[in-house]
Amino acid sequence: MADHPVDEKLPALKMATTGLQHVAAMYAGVVAPPLIVGAAIGLSATDLTFLTGACLFTAGLATFLQTLGIWKIGARLPFVNGVTFAGVAPMTAIVASTEDKSDALPIIFGAVIVAGLLGFLAAPVFCKAIRFFPPVVTGSVITLIGISLLPVAFGWAQGPNPAADDFGSATNLGLAGVTLLIVLLLRRFTRGFVKQIAVLLGLVAGTLIAIPFGVTDFGPVADADVVGFPTPFHFGAPQFQLAAILSMCVVMVVSMTESTADMLALGEIVDRPADEKTIAAGLRADTLGSAISPLFNGFMCSAFAQNIGLVAMTRIRSRYVVAAGGGFLVLMGLCPMAASLIAVVPRPVLGGAGVVLFGSVAASGIQTLVRAGLDKDNNVLIVAVSLAVGIIPITAPEFYHAFPETARIVLDSGISTGCVAAVLLNLVFNHLGRSGRDAHDVTHPMEAGEELTGAPKAATAS
């Protein structure tokens, strides 16, 4: 019996190049949190480089846990793990409230360790939420993931620094557009292996085209060391403060919610639907990776939704490809010069490729919604309201400005709020007051009350 495409082992060259595509898609997301937090602390350039390399290294370890797995740990899907951006706001808040800035990272690391261990213990309970994720819910969430990521691509397309004079310039937007065009042309007019690595080729071509415009900076390569190891507890032993631990536990809940939605989305895309067992194993990998990460000076780890778009677009579903990407992350963490090579890719070039990647996620969500029974008015309402709630943080970023900072960690995540809204609405419209339903029914598409035409649905034999 042939292996499922998820378990397929590709030739070495194809494995390496397609794995590198995943690294390119996620690199900016991994390095942004340490750069932001490090700048808030006032780290030196050397320490900032060290912290960034440590986050790359720990992202690789967490990706190994997720893709290859050990025991009951790891979803064993083509699932990339890296530093979660949801933790940036509370981490900078911890920095701001710490008098001696040299204590800030140890306090953050202690909070992440505790939150990771508690999340690991909670994974078997948390995963049971899968029964509340029928296609009408998962389709809404997958669509929201794509929509939520698109502003990231648009931001990249404008440039790396919003305060710079050339932010949003015609040059930057032109480079993004050219990169997008190259990817589209490669996808349209090539076949086989070249077609599958169209994003990587687009990034290389876009970087080369950017050189004459002075946008490509090779300085990071020249200044980087060849070898470096993220020495355990480089910034000091972890410290445990209750307020910091509570804030990171909230982030962990948000991260686990998004990871559950991402696993369901990826399961649909690779034709291996994620069940309770898979989700529990995936959440264990997320949380254990987060608990281990601070030992090597890294932050909380979570699933990277942008890589789901890459899987959807290339249709390369092998988890070993993503494991190869994890290997590159580890190498970059051990070799700062290698890490700097990815940093050479200009942000506008990444933005052009990101439009395709993140748009593919939204398209996958729409495909799932098509199978969710949108001829039923109940399901239409669920999708309409959950999408509206999830888009609030994108279209009105200050909508929740009057809420406490802790609440905003959840509310400012459109994926989390949209997911919660979809689950609750599904319960209200399709479950409450309906008798004769068991746990098995809940995992399948809903049998909504009325067709859009208004004709009542015929009763079915139980």
Summarised one tens digit per residue, pLDDT across range 440-451 is 443 333 333 444
pLDDT at residue 220 is higher than 80: no
pLDDT at residue 121 is higher than 70: yes
List all residues 6 or more positions away from 412 whose beta carbon is below 8 Å from its beta carbon.
Answer: 89, 393, 397, 400
pTM value is: 0.66
CA 223-178-144 angle, to 5 degrees, is 90
pLDDT at residue 209 is higher than 90: yes
Cross-strand pairs, 28? none
Higher pLDDT, 63 or 85: 63
List all residues 6 or more positions away from 121 whose beta carbon is below 8 Å from its beta carbon.
Answer: none
pLDDT at residue 427 is higher than 70: yes
pLDDT at residue 433 is higher than 70: no
pLDDT at residue 180 is higher than 90: yes
Residues in the chain: 462
Phi, psi of 139 (to 5 degrees): -60, -40
Categorize the per-residue pLDDT at 89 as very low, low, confident or very high, splitting at 50, 70 and 90: low
Nearest to 248 by CA among 301, 205, 284, 285: 301
Least reliable range by pLDDT among 118-122, 210-214, 305-309: 305-309
Which pLDDT belongs to residue 64?
92
pLDDT at residue 339 is higher than 70: no
Categorize the per-residue pLDDT at 74 as very low, low, confident or very high, splitting at 50, 70 and 90: confident
Higher pLDDT, 338 or 395: 395
Summarised one tens digit per residue, pLDDT across range 286-309 is 999 999 999 999 999 888 776 777
Which pLDDT belongs to residue 114?
95
58 near 298, Cβ under 8 Å?
yes
Which pLDDT belongs to residue 111?
92
Categorize the per-residue pLDDT at 109 as very low, low, confident or very high, splitting at 50, 70 and 90: very high
Which pLDDT belongs to residue 462?
30
Most confident of 37-46, 111-120, 153-162, 264-273: 111-120
Q: Round the average pLDDT of the chain to a whole number and report it.
A: 81
What is the C-alpha to C-alpha distance for residues 282 and 302, in angstroms, rounded to an integer?
Answer: 10
Which pLDDT belongs to residue 342?
62
Average pLDDT, integer, range 163-175: 90
Nearest to 421 by CA among 392, 450, 452, 441: 392
Least reliable range by pLDDT among 99-108, 111-120, 288-297, 425-434: 425-434
Higher pLDDT, 316 or 192: 316
Categorize the per-residue pLDDT at 434 as very low, low, confident or very high, splitting at 50, 70 and 90: low
Average pLDDT, integer, range 267-288: 88
Average pLDDT, integer, range 226-249: 84
Least reliable range by pLDDT among 131-135, 199-203, 264-268, 383-387: 131-135
Summarised one tens digit per residue, pLDDT across range 26-61 is 776 787 788 778 877 888 767 877 888 889 899 999
Distances (CA, A) of 103 to 33, 89, 135, 175, 235: 18, 17, 46, 42, 8
Which pLDDT belongs to residue 443?
37
What is the C-alpha to C-alpha distance for residues 28 and 33, in angstroms, rounded to an integer?
Answer: 9
Which pLDDT belongs to residue 201?
84
Which pLDDT belongs to residue 181?
95
Which pLDDT belongs to residue 293?
92
Summarised one tens digit per residue, pLDDT across range 404-416 is 876 776 677 777 7
Which pLDDT belongs to residue 372?
80
Which pLDDT belongs to residue 440?
40
Summarised one tens digit per residue, pLDDT across range 364-379 is 788 878 878 787 888 8
Average pLDDT, integer, range 222-230: 74
